[in-house]
Structure 1
């Protein structure tokens, strides 16, 4: 029989949980993820700081940016000018025409970014009061002159800019693993042609797509950049701007999931090809919210337009009215905020009308500032018709396919004598659907060339366009 000694037996209980151990599963996961994100941000900040010397920085004089005091600018938005240059020597200053001109508007509350592509050939007023293509502003005045042009002609208040050598996107696209894009037959053909030049300039390789048929393709950097540069298909520069926005959208989607290693790799290759006036602190601030940003809708400017060939300027996109197009941009970016155009816009609108009346004469030699495979390419031009669709580079009032001396052919060229783009066309010329020549680069020299035939009303242009290497 067991004895009862009267002593109490103490049983050791479980220790009370304290600190991290008492947190719920959800809170623990949140803490781990938050700590990881904080680590990524800190590492990213260190990386940015260590790479800043690779960036080209140009300070802009805000007094010369033409920000109108007449306009009540919306608060809560950060508006940035994005410029894409095709610079072989990686020179990002004056002397380079901006192949891409985009307004990126960030809603600081919703983190939504909207894009407005300004067509490079748009007839606008420069700082010196002259009227020229929008892309000439960068050539004459560098980033300061280009930002000033946007503010002056669109009643914007942009102070920040980022300029990228467009070929730098080759490295970015390769770093994120390439892009999946749906291409038409014509886009495949022209992309293959542009790849020759893009590969030569960047030193990067690619595989030609064969057979050249429409479909969805996984493109590497050389191919995707070449795709975004295509101009000579139906829609011309209008369609090219759409392609550029699509490529940026695809890159932005992939950027949401980039690792620190990928970011570091991109910075090393891309920073030397970027010019900006963002400070390190500003870039780190935006980098912290990178995963919160979302790319919203995009539009082209001017949405309502005509096209023509002007004396001393060349092929241009003309806003039907500058006021209505600027109103549309402000409504798109900022909603219906009661904005009305400034007197500056009204004055520029009158100047555009006057300049647009100075049409190129028949037989005038016009320099095309962007003919693939050549520099300062010239061709004879005949401007004998009325209305839109009058020039070699005419896209039609809504981005159509009329190219002056012939509508865009089915064999990558310009059909001879079949378009209404240059007056009333007579009998069909010697070439009806662009054929491939033997010189001028990969695709050949004159596609759809030859005299366009007799014309009872007036003589349309003399030759097709030399496509060169594209």
Structure 2
């Protein structure tokens, strides 16, 4: 029996597809390298050889790590403040994540500045001081940071096709009505959704809960994103609006060994009370609450 000979044009099409696919893969890989280069903004501490060894050991042994996510409104000529502060603790051994929202008015000691609102640390000393303040306040290590310009957050949600949220309270913000139940949000709507707090009986705590919900939904959308035609758009938005001290090799490791932590996300809240000090409103958190959070996250990091 003779072997069937495929027409030359079939082989030509297959070869063309392979070349196109390989070319696209090379393009994406090249763009990722460029984007990570644009995003990479190391801190002064990253030059410390001991820290470099610590980070190398964390990824080598698949240890837990903590990432501080800062959402910042920055415009030309405006230093901005970190209106969103979320500490994420990722444990790849248990495939779980703790997500702690830090109220921006939390009264803490800012190194070199004294007692003040925690979000002022960014205005005083940028990311470096924000990281140091969170580490000291909660007695926890912050291994990496990610800073997101909120305008870029809006663009990113749009490129992903929006996010689905289960809204627990009806409200109107920026002329947009958000009914109770399952709702789909585009970028503009998502930004308004996470910014509202005045109409929320829980104030900043309710706002923080919505922030966590939108970030979780965006992570899930990004993980299942399949539109290769929009990869370039996503990378451009990231490069223009995100900064991090993660290097390319670290990001590759996160995708390889830590992506599963998003399957089990537990959110945490800080209990405290409002108090006016010198005519300024602060969120006062007792030492026992700081200790509780520190103990809980440390236990999560050590779990096997």
Measure, in 1, the Cα distance between the counterparts of 2:230 and 2:98: 25
The answer on whether the counterparts of 1:41 and 1:288 sit within 8 Å (CA) in structure 2 is: no
Alpha-carbon spacing, 1:100–1:44, altered in 2? closer, same or farther (3 Å)? same
Q: Distance in 2 between matches of 1:244 and 1:41?
A: 34
CA offset at residue 160 of structure 1? Answer: 1.4
C-alpha offsets along residues 3-41 of structure 1, whole Å, 9 cap, x if unaligned? xxxxxxxxx9x9xxxxxxxxxxxxxxxxxxxxxxx9998
Determine the structure 2 residue equivalent to 1:126.
110
d(CA) in 1 for partners of 2:92 and 2:250?
Answer: 13
Residue 196 (structure 2) aligns with:
230
Task: Give the structure 2 partner of residue 239 of structure 1.
Answer: 206
Judging changes above 3 Å, is the alpha-carbon distance between structure 1 residues 41 and 325 closer, same or farther for their aligned structure 2 residues?
farther
Change (3 A) 1:265 1:221: same
How far did residue 186 of structure 1 move? Answer: 4.8
CA spacing shift, 1:331–1:127, aligned 2, 3 Å: same
* 2:34 corresponding residue in structure 1: 50
Report how far residue 231 of structure 1 moved: 1.2
- Structure 1 distance, partners of 2:166, 2:302, is 37
Choose the corresponding residue for 1:298, options 264, 267, 283: 267
How do residues 84-233 of structure 1 correspond to structure 2 at under 5 angstroms?
Answer: 84-89=71-76, 95-128=79-112, 130-183=114-167, 186-187=170-171, 189-190=172-173, 192-193=174-175, 208-209=176-177, 214-232=180-198, 233=200
1:327 matched to 2:266: no
TM superposition shift of 1:90: 9.0
Secondary structure at 1:57 match in 2: coil
Contact 2:67 2:143 in 1 (8 A): yes
| Structure 1 vs Structure 2 CA RMSD | 3.3
Q: Secondary structure of 1:61's partner?
A: helix
Give TM-score scaled by structure 1 length.
Answer: 0.52
Q: Is the 8 A contact 1:90 1:273 kept in 2?
A: no
How far apart, in 1, do the equivalents of 2:252 and 2:149 lie?
A: 22
Q: Deviations over 1:162-205 (max 9, x none)?
A: 10012211111111111233446652x12x34xxxxxxxxxxxx
Partner residue of 1:317 out of 279, 283, 301? 283
Which of 250, 253, 256 aligns to 1:285? It is 253
Higher strand share: 2
> Which runs of no fewer than 5 residues in structure 2 stay unpaired?
4-21, 52-57
The partner residue of 1:307 within 265, 274, 285 is 274
How many Å separate the matches in 2 of 1:261 and 1:288?
Answer: 23
Tell me how far apart the structure 1 counterparts of residues 243 and 296 of structure 2 sit (CA, whole Å).
30
Asked if the contact 1:105–1:113 (Cα under 8 Å) also holds between the matched residues in 2, the reply is yes
Where relative contact order (Cα < 8 A, 6+ residues apart) is larger, the structure is 2
> Could you state the TM-score of these two structures normalised by the residue count of structure 2?
0.77
Unaligned runs of 5+ in 1: 1-11, 15-37, 68-72, 194-207, 339-470
SS in 2 for 1:163: strand
- Give how far 1:57 is off: 1.3
Distance 2:45 2:202 in 1: 37
1:387 is matched with which residue?
A: none
Deviation at 1:109, TM superposition (A): 2.2
How many residue pairs are counted as aligned between the two chains?
Answer: 272
Q: Quick check: 1:331–1:337 contact (8 Å CA) kept in 2?
A: no
Shift in Å, 1:44: 5.0
Contact 1:90 1:165 in 2 (8 A): no
* Displacement after TM superposition at 1:336 (Å): 9.6
